[in-house]
Structure 1
């Protein structure tokens, strides 16, 4: 109970649905009832805070707040301010609490950045995705490259910490073109980058188009070259790959996301949000209703929008801890996995497959920690199912 919490707040609304996105995001042409959803978020936050209160009058430490979506920069700044005020009253904020808000480089959202900073946000994550006009159109983005650059410059002036996302391994993208685009992005001096390989997610518009052969993606050795090029270019600007898709300058890692990858406790508030909480010796996994209006109605009736909560078995907890932790460059500490799962580390992995992965150079022991090599990261999705018991 003394370990700090991470708090995720989901704003599910977007002005349009990107063709690659499978997140819980919704477009409401008739508009959004901001007052209703603000009240529901605040009520669900209060409900969850009461559950995790230590019971002795103390407040649970809170290390990070992350406004994700959807498009949380479409929220009213006063809603963001109210949620931050509630969270820091219900919990004990750590002195260096990280408060992140995701935003897109559109004029509507940029006009709010200073108000979000005044509300208490101290880190912004911009959905740049590309600096190529053709790529931005292909990805369905509502901004152009000049707007992205202007957004990054404004964000740097407004927030002490700035991150942005880019998508690579796009159709027809060469290594030389990606290196040039990435250098341009890195020169804009953010301290954190999330660089994602384009993948086809079921149920998206891209999944339909890809299935009928509308476009092809780099695969195999070609995709691997783009991954290695990404790490090389980021290193040239002082950013190290601390997670499979995330690069940061020393000390600029996303503390909120590290809570997930290190299998810490986190609260998830809002439509479709998930959470993991260790309470009374049980790891409780909670899901909330994905439909925004139905979620809000549930909160209004019962104080929360949860649809499912189950206590994870020790085996499930061990698997989840490994699935998350092996994404990190630092790897996993077997003692922490045992403590979080109540299961000896040796019972979470297949010993023969572990030995084989080490022999192949995909995994290695660094001191007392098990970590993936760079070759192992390329194969992580295929490796994990056979590694876990």
Structure 2
């Protein structure tokens, strides 16, 4: 959840949506995202909407679940005129959701279940830091209906974790993975590559460590230096090096090779799964333009081409939801042109690809050039799909610019 919120239209106090949001709703999946904005420490690279204990200004983590339930109650009314759809995915992100007691996460999930119902095969995920859970905590999550946990491993190299200001011991990762497995949860491990001071050998060791745990899913994201972060200031003061783009590209290629050899298939530029059934269906709903309600401070939502985002600070959020008002800070209704560009931007990142007929006519004229440049697969294009090659994945943004020019 990026720290800067967009500038757009005011959001109505009652949160009600235009009638157009209901159009085609029965053809779209519905999911729920719950943003738990608490962290033990603020990592220097992080630009998400998170707060440590001394930044909460009069609100308490112990009250958060009740505040989230108040927003879910508001959402019940806002969506009452749309077709009834059970939540097919629920995702607890942050921050660190597992800084809350497992019983609080269970309360919030139960509120989603009571309000919309859960699909029979619903995917229910929480993010977690390896040092915030134990075996009993994970068993409690599974008993509450969670199906999946995503651990923020980031690296197996202690000096890389220190640069990122991550607090866990990398040796704890095998323990939490085993505990999650014993509890009956699917496991994802999240990595960051390209940290200042990280060598290709450090990255190879992290990948080896991940593969040894046999998770169901792996995410690997290139470190991005976000403006306003501590890391950005350190780089500006020449205290640490700027991430090396060429080294990051080498690291990505190594990840693709090692994960592929270990049986993981890429399905989105930064995500690999041990089989189609282990892909993150919640994240796929973002990339394919489905509907979701985002609960919590700074959370973003999208329903039927209407996108909105909540006020950021937990105190301001609590004031609004406890008064029965929408916590939305602003919203926008996407026109057809914007939705078309966003579809190209997101679906082109998927291994399943993007339908060529979704690309503007001017963009279609570049397809032959993109094939010749080795950025998209020629055979897939003949089948009517845009699918990135490995080189295309490294230059995905440039491909999108050419397709939407």
With structure 2 as the length reference, what TM-score do the two structures score?
Answer: 0.86
The equivalent residue for 1:9 is 34
Contact preservation (8 Å) 1:164, 1:190? yes
Correspondent of 1:276 among 281, 302, 316: 302
Within the candidate set 287, 295, 309, 2:331 is matched to 309
Counterpart of 2:171 in structure 1 is 146
Cα deviation, residue 95, structure 1? 1.3
Match in the other structure for 1:168 = 193
Greater relative CO, 1 or 2 (CA 8 Å, sep 6+): 2
- CA 318–172 in structure 1, closer or farther in 2 if over 3 Å, else same: same
1:239 aligned to which of 242, 245, 264 = 264
Whole-Å separation in 1 of the counterparts to 2:117 and 2:255:
38
Residue in structure 1 matched with residue 278 of structure 2 by the alignment: 252
Q: State the partner residue of 2:15.
A: none
- Counterparts of 1:47-86 in structure 2, within 5 Å, are 47-54=74-81, 59-86=84-111
Q: In structure 2, what is the Cα distance between the partners aligned to 1:116 and 1:385?
A: 42
The partner residue of 1:380 within 396, 401, 404 is 396
Q: Deviations over 1:308-330 (max 9, x none)?
A: 12211111111111111111111
Q: Which moved more, 1:307-316 or 1:24-33?
A: 24-33
CA–CA distance in structure 1, aligned partners of residues 343 and 369 of structure 2 = 21
Q: Compute the displacement of 1:358 (Å).
A: 3.2
Q: Partners of 1:359 and 1:308 in 2: how far apart?
A: 43
> 1:30 and 1:212 mapped to 2: Cα distance?
26
Pick the aligned partner of 2:343 from 321, 326, 336.
Answer: 321
1:266 aligns with 2:292: yes
The 8 Å contact of residues 164 and 192 in structure 1, kept in 2 or not, is answered as: yes
Shift of 1:123: 0.4
Partner of 2:22: none
What is residue 11 of structure 2 aligned with on the other side?
Answer: none
8 Å CA contact retained: 2:123, 2:147: yes
Aligned twin of 1:133: 158
Q: Is 1:358 aligned with 2:371?
A: yes
**Structure 2 alignment gaps of length 5 or more:** 1-24
5+ residue gaps, structure 1: 338-344
Corresponding residue for 1:119? 144
Gap change, CA 1:42 and 1:203, over 3 Å in 2: same
Tell me how far apart the structure 1 counterparts of residues 227 and 245 of structure 2 sit (CA, whole Å): 20
Q: Which residue does the alignment assign to 2:251?
A: 226
Q: Give the Cα separation in 2 of the matches to 1:384 and 1:237.
A: 30
**1:156 touches 1:190 (CA, 8 Å); kept in 2?**
no
Q: CA deviation at 1:352?
A: 4.0
Residue in 1 aligned with 2:224? 199
* 8 Å CA contact retained: 2:98, 2:132: no
Candidates 55, 60, 67, aligned match of 1:40: 67
Distance (whole Å) between structure 1 residues aligned to residue 399 and residue 236 of structure 2: 26
**Structure 1 residues 288-303: aligned runs within 5 Å:** 288-303=310-325
Q: Report deviation, 1:14.
A: 0.7
1:224 Cα deviation from its structure 2 partner: 1.8
- TM-score, normalised with respect to structure 1: 0.90
The alpha carbon displacement at 1:46 in A equals: 2.1
